[in-house]
Structure 1
Amino acid sequence: MSHANAALTPRARLRLAKLIVEEHWSATVAAKMFMTSPPTARKWAVRFRVEGAAGMLDRSSRPRSMPTKTPPELVKRIVKARWRRRLGPAQIAAELGLPTSTVHAVLVRARINRLSHIDRVTGEPIRRYEHPHPGSMIHVDVTKFGSIPDGGGWRFVGKQQGDKHKATTALRTGRTSKGHPNIGTAFVHTVIDDYSRVAYAEICADEKAVTAIGVLERAAAWFADRGVTVERVLSDNGSAYRSYAWRDACTLLGVRHKRTRPYRPQTNGKIERFHRTLADGWAYARFYGSESERRAALPAWLHTYNHHRHHSAVGAAPISRLNNLPGHHT
């Protein structure tokens, strides 16, 4: 496709060249008719004589040779220094005797100019993936938030007042253990669709297998109501997801279960990132006078996240990707 400022399209070039070659117009007259220069008209005429209509198409502007191009072996040394030793462009340039700008350009082409693009464990570039359609893969996990005492937690009322509220709430609920107040933990079971980033979450009393199975069944039904069939589920290696009960539940649902590699939370990184968004946008976003008040706010926040919040990876609200499911337009 011609660039935005091209005076002639491939079709116009062909007409121009035919006027000169086949109808024997002069290059000056033909160029005037197409509002271009005579040298340009002659160029297209020559290409038409040699290559025919195929010669009217755009060619790559890449030069045939690049004498100053960084040699491949030197590129490998730059990349290796970045991967293995986390050196910056200035340090690599000083070590190899190269300009810093050259090293930086190589790192940009290799997409490792930022250390955040490199896996800390392996030193390899982070490989991002996305499954092809909604339901192809869902991620499941559990995140924990300490319950909020009546009157508000320490994040908003201060440590001293927060401890008083915690002690008072523990006495009221009878959860003081060995003199230490314990007001409980909110176990938030989360499910997120890999393709659309649409999220489902429930607050439960524990993270046992039977609880996780119940969440999976309800999440699968929730997605089914929106036209999404869950095919695979990805989890970490928690005890609930390693149980036979979980395996049997996945079999009954017709879902293929896959677990992440041990000590590799990056594999389940999309739901880990969602947990951070959940904490910032809901759990600790504002003052809550009690745990029940915070729990009551979760459904509204999830609706905003799915339907109205712009997701940087999607480029729109996550729910927008459920409007183009496989088979909808066939």
Structure 2
Amino acid sequence: MPHRNAPLTETGRLRLARCVVDDGWPLRRAAERFQVSPTTAHRWASRYRELGEAGMSDHSSRPHHSPTRTPTRTERRIIKVRVLRRWGPARIAYLLGLNPATVHRVLTRFGLARLAHLDRATNQVIRRYEHAAPGDLVHVDIKKLGNIPDGGGHRALGRQAGRKNRAKAGMSFLHNAVDDHSRLAYSEILTDERKETAAGFWQRAHTYFAEAGITVQRVLTDNGACYKSHLWRDTLAAAGITHKRTRPYRPQTNGKVERFNRTLLDEWAYAKPYRTETERREAYLLWLHTYNHHRGHTALKGQPPASRVPNLTGQYT
């Protein structure tokens, strides 16, 4: 693929070469006609004589020999340490007496995944997936969050003063549902995680998704007590929804909603030193709207979840 300032495309190169080789044009005349140097005209004419039309494509700029390349034995040592110890380039370089940049180039050359993409327990690459349509799978989870006492917590008052108020503040339970395909989120701040609370939350979440044009097929949860209850099972069954549970001690299986939990902590719960729990909760609805409608999502190529939802604004109802 020629760069943006290249005077010749592959078709232009072929025309130039044919003028020189087939029609007998002098190199300087052909170079002037196609606005390139005589050296360039000679190069494409020579490739046409040798390779025909196939020679008009770009060749790799990689050198035939790389005498300063890291020795194969050293590359193998780098890969062995990476696989067995799961270390990053800096630690590997310190162990082997190499430059971290050299280690990084070797790891990149062999296509080894970033440490963030590996399961630390098994060293296997984490398989990332996305269901094909909204509603194919909805991730559901509960995030516990300490309430902010009146007057502010340690972020506003400092550790010592904030610790005195923390004990009487209590806890909140954020019930979250995130669509796997679109990342559209429905969330409520509730007082507990009992089965009745979880079932009621899902009924409202299901209504929200339905109004957005999403037909929920399956729901994925962890193995919390409320999700193993008969009430939760019956609530999903009544709506014709299949319930799936994650493997024990494998929260990454429910990764879409786990990532949503981290995002809301970073961008809402701990985004600024709130003075009261009421102040923080009042900011939540606005943040959730921003997340669904305006905040670019890296997994969606910078688009918000609303870009993948058929009827989020309700204009087709």
TM norm structure 2:
0.78
- Asked if structure 1 preserves the Cα contact closer than 8 Å seen for 2:297 and 2:305, the reply is no
Give the C-alpha shift of residue 262 in structure 1: 1.5
Give the C-alpha shift of residue 51 in structure 1: 4.1
Distance in 1 of aligned mates of 2:185 and 2:262: 13
Equivalent residue for 2:201? Answer: 215
- Asked if structure 1 preserves the Cα contact closer than 8 Å seen for 2:113 and 2:125, the reply is no
Unpaired runs of 5+ residues, structure 1, are: 167-180, 326-330
Q: What is the identity, as a one-letter code, of the residue corresponding to 1:237?
A: N
Give the C-alpha shift of residue 184 in structure 1: 4.0
Distance in 2 of aligned mates of 1:163 and 1:92: 41
Compared CA separation, residues 262 and 57, structure 1 to 2 (3 A): same
SS in 2 for 1:270: helix
How is 1:80-95 mapped onto 2 (pairs within 5 angstroms)? 80-87=80-87, 89=89, 92=92
Distance in 2 of aligned mates of 1:101 and 1:23: 52
Equivalent residue for 2:315? Answer: none
- Asked if structure 2 preserves the Cα contact closer than 8 Å seen for 1:138 and 1:192, the reply is yes
TM norm structure 1:
0.75
Equivalent residue for 2:25? Answer: 25
Give the C-alpha shift of residue 280 in structure 1: 3.5
Find the partner of 1:257 among 229, 243, 253: 243
Equivalent residue for 2:292? Answer: 306
Give the C-alpha shift of residue 43 in structure 1: 3.1
Distance in 2 of aligned mates of 1:133 and 1:61: 42
Equivalent residue for 1:175? Answer: none
Equivalent residue for 1:60? Answer: 60
Q: Deviations over 1:207-226 (max 9, x none)?
A: 23333233233223322323
- Between stretches 33-42 and 120-129, larger displacement belongs to 120-129
- Between stretches 221-230 and 243-252, larger displacement belongs to 243-252
Distance in 1 of aligned mates of 2:261 and 2:99: 42
Equivalent residue for 2:261? Answer: 275
Give the C-alpha shift of residue 235 in structure 1: 1.9
Task: Indicate yes or no: 2:187 matched with 1:201.
Answer: yes
- Asked if structure 1 preserves the Cα contact closer than 8 Å seen for 2:236 and 2:242, the reply is yes
Give the C-alpha shift of residue 121 in structure 1: 1.8
SS in 2 for 1:140: strand
Equivalent residue for 1:43? Answer: 43
SS in 2 for 1:142: strand
- Between stretches 89-98 and 135-144, larger displacement belongs to 89-98
The number of residues matched between the two structures is 311
- Asked if structure 2 preserves the Cα contact closer than 8 Å seen for 1:104 and 1:113, the reply is no
- Asked if structure 1 preserves the Cα contact closer than 8 Å seen for 2:149 and 2:168, the reply is no
Q: Deviations over 1:125-167 (max 9, x none)?
A: 444444444434332110112334444445434567667767x
SS in 2 for 1:277: helix
Equivalent residue for 1:228? Answer: 214
SS in 2 for 1:196: coil
Distance in 1 of aligned mates of 2:243 and 2:69: 48
SS in 2 for 1:187: strand
Equivalent residue for 1:169? Answer: none
**Structure 1 vs Structure 2 CA RMSD:** 3.6
Distance in 1 of aligned mates of 2:148 and 2:80: 49
- Asked if structure 2 preserves the Cα contact closer than 8 Å seen for 1:138 and 1:191, the reply is yes
Identity of aligned residues (%): 53
Give the C-alpha shift of residue 278 in structure 1: 1.9
Distance in 1 of aligned mates of 2:71 and 2:289: 53
- Asked if structure 1 preserves the Cα contact closer than 8 Å seen for 2:212 and 2:310, the reply is no
Distance in 2 of aligned mates of 1:153 and 1:276: 20
